[in-house]
Chain A
């Protein structure tokens, strides 16, 4: 390689300490090839958790759905709680990669790739839960619209079919958006690697070569991907919310569900970004790329989503009282005082109260505080799904049919642990084999090399 070309200084909020394009490649790809011992320990623990989940699901398939503690009237139990939770986690990736891209929020540069990966893994895991809950998972193809001799079709007027269409579209679009963004970086790795690595990365970079026409077509496609992904991300959790809102169950049948669910989804997704990125920047020594300013901006966005979520909680309860429906009123009173009241209050504290502390700059710029708030918001959002899904089913109109979902069985715990482990396992594998920070986007953020004549 020839001489090193220095570019000068970068702006304060951008990637720090990188003055050449070569140093960008060296740092990001260097961390990828040599992640260190702690990485392997984390991968082994996550792998063990995946086995626990796989064994639990296998046991359930062999034994029957009765091994889960789901029973009438709480037939959706923890599996659908997990489904909605993971769909929610998937939301911040597209927010960061698409919506912030359209708004030209430059602080997204160093976190967009990881957040997109997080989105894909979270949607994949979310998609597993309806299959897990199906019991006879081998009949899942019945939901697909294919011509068949019985002339039976999925009912496209059903919110459950909306959900299948929305989630599979979201997974496909998120994956293609992520992969398209990766192509130039894969070409960079191809050009630096030799032997088998060169061939593998060469195959996946599809012959990319970065000429002016390539970049023009790429820029057009990327902009259009972002423009298409933006309404999609809003629609996905809206559609998930209609699984509930289109039912006449007290606690579900509400017109605010779509914006309320979308805000909650982004709330939990951003919290998960903090939980993932704070350790990642340490493990991969990315402190100069994922700067405190970037994490602080995520914290500020969590304040916004936390306030929307808090407002939605207040409005739901107000409308239940103001609307005068007896069953609705009883449902919301039961939420605050009944069997799941501890989950309800935990949800209020974690999702609406804890983020308020982020108004203080000292907390917003403290890594332990941000990490803790990330974990608390995720716990709160899991409980929110439990309160809405299970709590509403448990206390419908007729007291004769009331009943509670007591607690997850050991199989359900195993599957829950497995889902989190699979998420971290996939993310760790991604960090090992692909650049977790977009090389070309970071290069765009450092000043171009110019020689004075």
Chain B
């Protein structure tokens, strides 16, 4: 597989990272990833991302499946038992609400976690070559995939914005 060129900029200050994002967007250069040690709203806004990801559709799917599973289990087992007591419905509605509710939550949570793992392509054994260990601690980072022609321009934008380190890698 052909190797891709990338430029990684490491920043100590958020305002400089944001100015680099603005600079790259102005030049219509696609940003591959912006790293930070925690969630930062300003980064999301600078990248123009929606507040919520597509994970919520996984949750909704799990919730509907869970609700149906719980109710089915209660109804099916009651139908199997066939213990008819005078005046009581063989398949009661109210007691089915509780397994329905609990399975609704349980399966929705499984799907939420599954969605998170799927969307982030986790678990993953190896980290990408461009990843810097400081990204999870106290530094911010920008990764831009580029060609031989525009790598120089990307490096200049990152350096001019205040990156404390800019490096070019192949991965």
Chain B residues lying within 8 Å of A162, measured Cβ to Cβ, are 95, 98-99, 102
Tell me whether A228 and B105 are in contact in the complex, defined as CB-CB below 8 angstroms, given that A212-B33, A217-B53 are known contacts. yes
Chain A residues lying within 8 Å of B96, measured Cβ to Cβ, are 156
CB-based contact B59/A1 at 8 Å: no
* Interface, chain B (partner A; CB < 8 A): 12-16, 33-40, 42-44, 47, 49-56, 59, 73-74, 77-78, 80-81, 92, 95-96, 98-99, 101-103, 105-106, 108-110, 112-113, 115-117, 119-128, 131, 133-139, 143, 162, 164-165
Tell me whether A220 and B80 are in contact in the complex, defined as CB-CB below 8 angstroms, given that A169-B102, A215-B36 are known contacts. no
CB-based contact A209/B74 at 8 Å: no
Tell me whether A216 and B102 are in contact in the complex, defined as CB-CB below 8 angstroms, given that A2-B12, A156-B95 are known contacts. no
Selected from A166, A224, A232, the residue in CB contact (under 8 A) with B55 is A224
Bound Cα distance A228, B101 (Å): 11
Bound Cα distance A449, B99 (Å): 49
Chain A residues lying within 8 Å of B36, measured Cβ to Cβ, are 210, 212, 215
Tell me the nearest residue of chain B to A232, going by C-beta: B105
Question: What are 20 of the A-B contact pairs (CB < 8 Å)?
Answer: A2-B165, A5-B12, A5-B13, A20-B138, A153-B80, A156-B98, A172-B109, A177-B109, A184-B38, A188-B37, A188-B136, A192-B137, A206-B117, A210-B38, A210-B136, A215-B39, A216-B44, A235-B102, A444-B38, A451-B13
CB-based contact A449/B127 at 8 Å: no
Which of A20, A217, A231, A443 has the most chain B CB atoms closer than 10 A to its own CB?
A: A217
Number of A-B pairs whose CB atoms are under 8 Å? 203
Tell me whether A191 and B137 are in contact in the complex, defined as CB-CB below 8 angstroms, given that A5-B13, A217-B55 are known contacts. yes
**Contacts A209-B131, A215-B39, A450-B15 given; 6 further ones with Cβ under 8 A?**
A5-B12, A211-B33, A220-B56, A224-B55, A440-B39, A449-B12
| A interface, size bucket | 35 or more
Selected from B80, B109, B137, B139, the residue in CB contact (under 8 A) with A228 is B109
Tell me the nearest residue of chain B to A186, going by C-beta: B136
Chain A residues lying within 8 Å of B13, measured Cβ to Cβ, are 5, 449-451
